[in-house]
Amino acid sequence: MPKPQETAVYTHGHHESVLRSHTWRTAANSAGYLLGSLKPHMRILDIGCGPGTITADLATLVPDGHVTGVDRAPEILDRARSTAAGRGLTNIDFAVADVHALDHPDDTFCVVHAHQVLQHVGDPVRALREMRRVTKPNGFVAVRDSDYGAMTWYPASAGLDDWLDLYRRVARANGGEPDAGRRLKAWALQAGFTDVTATSSAWTFSTPEERTWWGGLWADRTVESAYAGRATGGGHATAEELRAVSAAWRNWAQQPDGWFAVLHGEILCRKEA
């Protein structure tokens, strides 16, 4: 029987405007709910590692252990390897993988971690079952995903309303679930976990520098990234409509009272012995 394969399309792609966000991510700002469970000897699998900034942070936290970062996109792994090499890390390696069919034996890792992954996969429950399979008894599966429907901002903006509606339509047409954060606990229970701790946390962008950065990367992503091509190619928006959404992001970023919050759902699942 052939191995199951990923069926969803990664909505964002790896344009510079996307990597601008991904390389900002750290274990501290993206995996805080997990850090208290780490021990120096642990072996960790980081799924959807992207450019490897969180992966490298995890490797520094398990100096007597090892971290393997995996991603579906071979081209991004060169960036991840450079990140690790730049920090002088030797307890880390990277490989291409599909979360629906991981190339590891049962009970291999102390922790299996995935940040902003399940919102982009075709079958998140199957992915969680596979993550559970390669986790050691009493080990952890740790997952954090944003929830687009729960994102909120000030001041009100019809252009950002259009952005949110458009993004959710494009992501679902690509086979993903943009409101994954609220579903993580339900998916984990469906995957067979019985010991699930569900929490949430948020990124907030409010200072002039934060607004310029966040608004700017979304303004660029809306018109220049793979997401833009999928929005127009799938008939979800015209190029003119994308330019209007991009302008709305830049306008929001210029508002002195501007504020944006990204809610994330988090699950820490212990695999029963």
Phi, psi of 249 (to 5 degrees): -65, -45
CA separation for the pair 66, 114 (Å, rounded): 16
Q: What is the pLDDT of residue 4?
A: 47
Q: What is the pLDDT of residue 13?
A: 57
Mapping DSSP to helix (H, G, I), strand (E, B) and coil, where does residue 98 land? Answer: coil
pLDDT bucket at 153, cuts 50 / 70 / 90: very high
Looking at the DSSP assignment, which residues form a beta bridge with residue 188? Answer: none
CA separation for the pair 187, 206 (Å, rounded): 32
pTM: 0.94
CA angle 224, 8, 46 (to 5 degrees): 90
Report pLDDT digits (tens) over 99-143: 999 999 999 999 999 999 999 999 999 999 999 999 999 999 999
